[in-house]
């Protein structure tokens, strides 16, 4: 069985182009609970960066609004 993931948009810190990113839900939840960094990626500049406070809060909000059905369907 495939690990559930969450898809969300990220904005490249270099050119501000939005793209879709996908990270396992467990990885995001663990990082939010433990205070570890969340690394985001923009393919347009092949660049990784650490999620800012606002990006982390958006991910927290997204996870908080997910339902059990949505988690099982992922």
- The secondary structure element, H or E, covering residue 52 is none
CB 13 within 8 A of CB 47: yes
**Exposure b/e, 8-37, CB count within 10 A at least 16 = b:** bebebeeeeeeeeeebebeebeebbeeeee
**pTM confidence score:** 0.81
For the chain, 74 residues long, give each residue's pLDDT as a single digit of tens: 688 999 999 999 999 999 999 999 999 999 999 999 999 999 999 999 999 999 999 999 999 888 655 555 55
DSSP letter, residue 26: H
Q: Where are the domains of the chain?
A: 5-69
What is the pLDDT at residue 69?
53
Are the C-beta atoms of 39 and 49 separated by less than 8 Å?
A: yes
According to DSSP, residue 51 is labeled: P
pLDDT (0 to 100) of residue 66:
80
């Amino acid at each position: 069985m495939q690990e559930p993931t969450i898809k969300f948009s990220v904005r490249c810190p270099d050119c501000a182009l939005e793209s879709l990113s996908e990270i396992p839900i467990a990885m995001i939840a663990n990082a939010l609970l433990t205070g570890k960094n969340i690394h985001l990626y923009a393919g347009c500049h092949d660049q990784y960066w650490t999620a800012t406070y606002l990006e982390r809060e958006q991910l927290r909000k997204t996870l908080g609004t997910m339902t059990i059905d949505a988690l099982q369907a992922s």
